[in-house]
Amino acid sequence: MTLGHQSGTDKPKDECGVFGIYAPGTNVARLTYYGLYALQHRGQESAGIAVADGDRIQLSKAMGLVPEVFSADTIDNLSGDLAIGHVRYSTTGSSSPLNAQPLVFRYTGGQLGLAHNGNLTNVTELRSQLLSTGSIFQSSTDSEVVVNLIARYSQSTLEEAVMKTMIDIKGAYSLVLLTEDKLIAVRDPYGFRPLCIGSLGNGYVVASESCALDTVGAKFLRDVEPGEIVTIDSTGLKSAHVLPAKCRAHCIFEYIYVARPDSTIDNYNVNRVRRKLGHQLAAEFPVDADLVIPVPDSGTASARGYAEATGIPFEEGLMKNRYIGRTFIQPSQDMRDLAVRLKLNPVREVLEGKRVVMVDDSIVRGTTSGKLVAMLHDCGVKEVHMCLSSPPVIRSCYYGIDTSDEKELIAANMQLDEIRQSIGADSLHYLSLEGLLDIFDDYRDNFCTACFSGIYPVEVVKPKDTGKYSLE
């Protein structure tokens, strides 16, 4: 795991976004480009599109944001009836062009493209088994292990090869696969990472989040079920349930931070969930204050919820610069505070002399929160009450989100009041895990909460000697 912070912030790094389309008669490359644009928040390191026209698969991918990777000419040269696309932030495998996806390879069954969101937890073991029997790897991604396994089973039909691969692999995966004439979507038996299906004319679209379906004009049909393989070709859509889930374990962090608020995942709209998190936070910690302000953008909906529930006025007290991209030059050591100020600037006229509740989604390492609190005090804020719409992050994620190494997680290493002191807040409140799960009523047992609870739905081994978690 690498250190999880984006330029000037202290957030988990996102993961990956996948998109697939089967829609003969449309410009599938362009639609995939727009779909990936809608999923850009899930990965900013590389982007790729693979298009099939019945005879062959063409691929275009590179490091960079979607608009940096594809020109209009590139897109117009990718013609076909079906396509898959991927945006990536590296959770497994380094940041390198070789690790960009989709992966496209040739095997005895023809050509196959694959795009993957999630992390496998038994990849080390599988990779050594494959290496010992002659497999060669180009990249360091766990996705290439999936590709190799499918190729190993190529004496079967592709669907059977995918089913056999699903029995071998463990952990989190939402996959989209492409042959010359067929699109396949797969979700792991726990349903860690989201994946949904929409219709577009006579065709279909699959995507990590429903916001991408909306963007391309597709009508949301349903989520891909945990353990399901969906096959789409000229005969229509077929579904097979391969591995019955022992339990569902949707990533609860998708709702708190990762997903776009306009997406609906497994029947829960992200914005609505965040709003309710704010209500719950207010019920647990009703602070006497003059203003509620969000840390934009992921804290905004919960801050509104907190304001609604308490009647305290909501104000935008921190302005976000939306133009800080991947190529942003990090300030030198002596200019470190600049990194936060570049991204978030307080509005003195709104804040001066006020007692403020500042709502954020989570604290990972605690570095940014301290700087934000200091900035508010510099503006003459009388009291800063920090409210988090999630429980303390105390464990690393091994299922596709980079939440930082455990020794970097402030809540894994400090008590509540030590954290409060270290960030300089007048009070600090984390939503309880019970309060978080209450949002989902009867569906509450269907989530992974490992980074908050330490209960990992798919086993992660902690060797006694090093004390460090490793993947089995």
> For residue 190, what are the contacts with CB-CB under 8 A and spacing of at least 6?
172, 226, 245, 246, 247, 248, 249, 250, 448, 457, 458
Q: Which own/partner pairs from 404-411 qualify as long-range (CB within 8 Å, at least 24 positions apart)?
A: 404/1, 404/3, 404/4, 404/5, 404/12, 404/364, 404/365, 405/1, 405/3, 406/468, 406/469, 408/3, 408/4, 408/364, 408/365, 409/364, 409/365, 410/363, 410/364, 410/365, 410/366, 411/363
Least separation in angstroms between CB 248 and ligand SF4? 12
Cα end-to-end distance, the chain, whole Å: 15
Least separation in angstroms between CB 241 and ligand SF4? 22
The answer for 25, left when phi > 0, alpha when psi is -120 to 50, beta otherwise, is left
**Would you state the structure tokens that stand for residue 152, as one six-digit string?**
């190993």
Least separation in angstroms between CB 71 and ligand SF4? 35
Please name which of 108, 104, 103, 49 lies closest in space to residue 80, comparing C-alpha atoms. 49
Phi, psi of 177 (to 5 degrees): -120, 150
Residue nearest to ligand SF4 (CB): 397
d(CA 233, CA 182): 5
**Residue among 117 and 231 whose Cβ is closer to ligand SF4:** 117
Least separation in angstroms between CB 436 and ligand SF4? 10
**Residue among 367 and 449 whose Cβ is closer to ligand SF4:** 449
Least separation in angstroms between CB 370 and ligand SF4? 23
d(CA 301, CA 125): 42
**Residue among 126 and 448 whose Cβ is closer to ligand SF4:** 448
**Residue among 130 and 364 whose Cβ is closer to ligand SF4:** 364
Least separation in angstroms between CB 354 and ligand SF4? 34
**Residue among 215 and 403 whose Cβ is closer to ligand SF4:** 403
- Find out whether the peptide bond into 297 is cis, omega within 30 degrees of 0: yes
**Residue among 53 and 472 whose Cβ is closer to ligand SF4:** 472
**Residue among 86 and 395 whose Cβ is closer to ligand SF4:** 395
Which residues are designated catalytic?
16
Least separation in angstroms between CB 396 and ligand SF4? 8
**Residue among 4 and 198 whose Cβ is closer to ligand SF4:** 4
Least separation in angstroms between CB 189 and ligand SF4? 14
Least separation in angstroms between CB 454 and ligand SF4? 9
CB 450 within 8 A of CB 171: no
> For residue 129, what are the contacts with CB-CB under 8 A and spacing of at least 6?
none
Residues of this chain that bind ligand SF4 (CB under 6 A):
192, 251-253, 397, 399, 401, 403, 448-451
> For residue 417, what are the contacts with CB-CB under 8 A and spacing of at least 6?
428
**Residue among 13 and 304 whose Cβ is closer to ligand SF4:** 13
